[in-house]
Each structure stands twice: as structure tokens, then as C-alpha cells.
């Protein structure tokens, strides 16, 4: 006997904080490099769904999700190389890029 239970797609939301600290080091050519801390926040929305089937040998659960995310505010990484300041600017609130992700999975 096979039975099936399916849930309606559910909305999802999340906020993530990414943090990086590189410390200081001297590279192969003798330049002293000092990296500042970098913090970036991202937010995302999406949908997830799951269906479960009870089979004769066990239960099979299938799940899927799709979402997009966006950087919230700018991110900047600053470094000092042999006394000269360098900066790299990451994705920020003025960007139009929305990375997406699709996930599929199962358990038995």
C-alpha cells in the first residue's frame, strides 16, 4: 500500500551575517599585509515544499526549495600593504544582482 502526504509550498525568509578577519602577515616578497574585519548582511526570500510517500519498504520524503538573496548595505574589505591602504567594495544596497539557489533533496 502506498500513501502520499503533500504540503503546500511554504514561504521562507532569512537574514545572514558574514564576518571575515584576516589578521596580519608578511607575504613571500616581504610586504607586510594587515587585513581589517569585514561584515556583510544578506537577506533572502523563497519557497519550500515537501511531499512524503509511505511505501511498503519505508517512507520516502522529497523536498525542494528555491530562493533569492540580496546584500543589505555595502561590504568593504580594507587592507594595509607595506603602509599603503587598499580597499575592495563588495555588493551593496545599490547593486541589482540577486543570486538565486534551487535545492532538491530526499530521504528514505
pLDDT in tens, 30-62: 888 877 777 778 889 999 998 888 888 888 899
Mean pLDDT of the chain: 79
Of 41-50, 66-75, 95-104, minimum mean pLDDT range: 95-104
The model's pTM is: 0.52
Closest CA to 8 of 54, 51, 62: 51
Vertex 70 angle, CA 64 and 75, to 5°: 135
Amino acid at each position: 500500500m502506498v500513501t502520499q502526504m503533500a504540503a503546500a509550498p511554504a514561504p521562507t525568509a532569512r537574514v545572514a551575517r558574514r564576518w571575515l578577519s584576516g589578521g596580519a602577515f608578511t607575504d613571500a616578497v616581504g610586504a607586510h599585509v594587515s587585513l581589517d574585519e569585514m561584515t556583510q548582511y544578506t537577506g533572502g526570500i523563497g519557497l519550500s515544499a515537501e511531499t512524503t510517500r509511505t511505501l511498503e519498504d519505508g517512507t520516502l520524503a522529497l523536498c525542494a526549495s528555491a530562493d533569492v538573496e540580496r546584500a543589505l548595505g555595502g561590504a568593504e574589505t580594507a587592507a594595509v600593504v607595506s603602509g599603503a591602504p587598499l580597499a575592495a567594495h563588495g555588493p551593496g544596497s545599490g547593486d541589482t544582482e540577486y543570486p538565486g539557489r534551487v535545492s532538491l533533496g530526499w530521504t528514505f
